[in-house]
Amino acid sequence: MQVTENKQIKEKLYTEKLDNGLILMVFPKKTRKKYIVWSTNFGSVDNKFYAPGEENLTVVPDGIAHYLEHKLFEQENGKNSLDVLTSIGVDANAYTTNDHTAYLYECTEHFDDALDEFMNYVQNPYFTDENVEKERGIIQQEIMMYDDYPEWKVYMNAMKAMYKDNEINIDVAGTVETIAKIDKDKLYKIYNSFYRPDNMILVIVGDFDPEEISEKVKSKITMKSIDKETVRIYNEEQTEIVKPYIEQKMNISMPLVLMAYKDNDLKSDKIKKDLAIDIIGNILFGKSSKTFEKLYEEGKLISAPTIDYEFSKTYSHVMIQFQTDDIEDVIKEITNKIETIKINGILEEDFQRIKKKIYGEIVKDYNDVSNIATSLVSDYFKNINSLDYFNAINEIDKSYIEKVLKEVFVENLKVISVIK
């Protein structure tokens, strides 16, 4: 196994590529809690592809990745693997994102007892007309629940205002209309095209001997390698935004606002930019910033805005979210602060203070097995190594922060999504 050591946090990551192409990562951690996640690089954005050995393009309904996630637990023996795992005392779950689908469980005991069931259901799908139809109503209810969730709607509205053709504006769960087109044949085609070992990663975090747990996992692998690849097709996206403002009314106590900036530079160092934007957000309007202090004292904000840099191989954007009754005033205040600091730059003392704060937060994340595992998975599918964040933050200086500020926070690439 290949060993990657980070001496700053005194941790090691063991990585092995199995004969069938599956990537296995083991992160030993002296803790009672154990965590395993098996993920495939297939999410809501992957709706067009050439299946292995096929010449015709396959287009699948929106929401099919999420639908398959629901159905994979159901087994031919009539049992639901989620129920089986829960019954032996492990916390099992699954989730679907824009670019990957993951199956997992965590526990303090019975890890080995759960492993057989876990390895079995991920590798042995069982779809029938009856069980696929049975799930449709459940997912319809989930879709309607998300339609009533302001935080989700303000995000999706922002994506649709920002991107014209990029698949990021597809709702992960799909719509009631699109999931009506999903059947067992489409689910099997998706599984056979994307649930292939060379498109998957299995991460284990906890008090394990890397070689021992590796051999145990390999003894339970039945997936075979596939010679022909699955070719994904993505839409070309314009550099401009679709529209600068989008608004929706919902049953909400205080308006919710999302300011987002479209970042068309997909080739820059994503780790450094992610860290830079985190630092920028803290300096501009974090809890200790003068901007937040002013807006809080004026009663225009009750909590500090959050900032997030979301990116993949086909899109990237910055999101600033907050709640306020004074929408125009707060947007103007934040926008003016961004433009002012772009001109005047940031103070070295502010930069150093926030940089140390962010470094401490990264270290803290490595105390939690679930944070470690999910970060390793999501970063792997973005072609980055989670441990590289430690080196990257040491390389960042004030001039790089100011450069990112000018390049990313561009006014004509800004979208404002409001839920009133």
* Burial (CB count <10 Å: 0-12, 13-18, 19+), residue 411: exposed
User: By three-state DSSP, how is residue 390 classified?
Assistant: helix
Q: What angle do CA 146, 149, 150 make, to 5 degrees?
A: 140
The reply to whether 212 belongs to the active site is no
CA 292 – CA 253 distance, rounded (Å) = 21
User: Which amino acid, residue 158?
Assistant: A
Look-up: residue for tokens 């608004």? 247
CA 85 – CA 122 distance, rounded (Å) = 13
Q: Which of 69, 74, 167, 402 is catalytic?
A: 69
CA 19 – CA 258 distance, rounded (Å) = 45
User: By three-state DSSP, how is residue 17 classified?
Assistant: strand
Element (H, E) at 206: strand 200-206
User: By three-state DSSP, how is residue 107 classified?
Assistant: strand
Cα dihedral: 383, 387, 389, 390 (round 10): -160
- Please name which of 200, 418, 393 lies closest in space to residue 327, comparing C-alpha atoms: 418
Query: Using an 8 Å Cβ cutoff, are 305 and 321 in contact?
Result: yes
- Please name which of 402, 327, 394 lies closest in space to residue 362, comparing C-alpha atoms: 394
Query: Using an 8 Å Cβ cutoff, are 170 and 45 in contact?
Result: yes
Q: Is the dihedral of CA 230, 231, 233, 239 positive or negative?
A: positive
Q: Which residues does the annotation mark as catalytic?
A: 69
